[in-house]
Amino acid sequence: MENIVIGIEGYVGTGKTTICRELVKKIPNSILLHGGNIYRAITYGILKTGLINVKEDNNKLSSLNIKNIMDKLKLKIEIENNESVIYIHDKKVNEDDLQSLETSIATSKISNYANNEKLYEFGRNIVESLKKKYNIIISSRDIVNMYPKIDYHFLLIADLDERVRRKLNQYKGEISFDDLKKHIQTRDELQEKSGYYKIHPITRVIDVTDCKSVEEETNKILEYIK
């Protein structure tokens, strides 16, 4: 039986990663490909090396060749403990650095300007390679355009205030509710300008606002997977 590819997209704070990890537990021979973390790692590398001033250099962003940046950073993807991890210059990138507020906002901005064609080609090649051995669960943005042959595609949505509450737990008092709400609204706007959150014919929209547990959220998705 041929392995399948499941795409999980969602608005900020809907719990994509947590749900994906639960799906890996429930779907045999599956791995989690953090597609969004590839972009985050590229952004993190740009911020750390100062290749571009993300706050000011919009002209440079619009001509940014993402694949060239990946090559300069010597970015590699490995599978460890059933999940993808990213190395830059042979050093594993810390998850906290990838998920920081600074990286998150900069990632949304870069994705709004940059040409993603080469990155998508890179992603397709990774998926095709991994699919030979595993069922793949992808947590990312614009998954259908990146991998049109996807078997299942889900878009997670939730009430804005509920999303803020969930993210607030992640940042552990580093930011106020109101400030975080503004950050999330800004990221939503940037993501939508980038053409993300599209509903395709294959897409199932899953509202997780009232879900009381990760298992309940995951079961909503599993209802559609044959």
Question: Distance between CA atoms of 188 and 14, rounded to whole angstroms?
Answer: 12
pLDDT digits (tens, 9 = 90+) for 200-212: 999 999 999 999 9
Residue 65 has pLDDT above 60, yes or no: yes
Is there a contact between 164 and 13 (Cβ–Cβ < 8 Å)? yes
Domain range list for the chain: 5-218
Residues of the chain above pLDDT 70, percent: 93
User: For position 58, what pLDDT does the model report?
Assistant: 57
Burial class (CB in 10 A: 0-12, 13-18, 19+), 155: buried
Higher pLDDT: 208 or 97? It is: 208
Mean pLDDT (the chain) is: 88
Strand segments (E) across 146-226: 152-157, 203-207
Higher pLDDT: 48 or 2? It is: 2
- DSSP state at residue 135: E
CA 175 to chain centre: 22
Question: Distance between CA atoms of 142 and 197, rounded to whole angstroms?
Answer: 7
- The token pair at 222 is 């599993």
C-alpha separations of 59 from 65, 80, 198, 224 in Å: 12, 37, 26, 43
Q: Crossing angle for the helix pair 214-222 and 16-26, nearest 10 degrees?
A: 60
C-alpha separations of 13 from 7, 60, 69, 75, 105 in Å: 17, 30, 28, 27, 14
Q: Which CATH class is domain 5-218?
A: alpha beta
- Cα-only R_g, the chain: 17
Is there a contact between 184 and 167 (Cβ–Cβ < 8 Å)? yes
Question: Distance between CA atoms of 190 and 93, rounded to whole angstroms?
Answer: 24
pLDDT digits (tens, 9 = 90+) for 114-167: 777 878 888 999 999 999 999 999 999 899 999 999 999 999 999 999 999 998
Task: Note the pTM of the prediction, 2 decimals.
Answer: 0.86
How many Å is the maximal CA-CA distance in the chain?
50
Q: What is the 3-state secondary structure (H, E, C) of 109-133?
A: HHHHHCECHHHHHHHHHHHHHHHCC
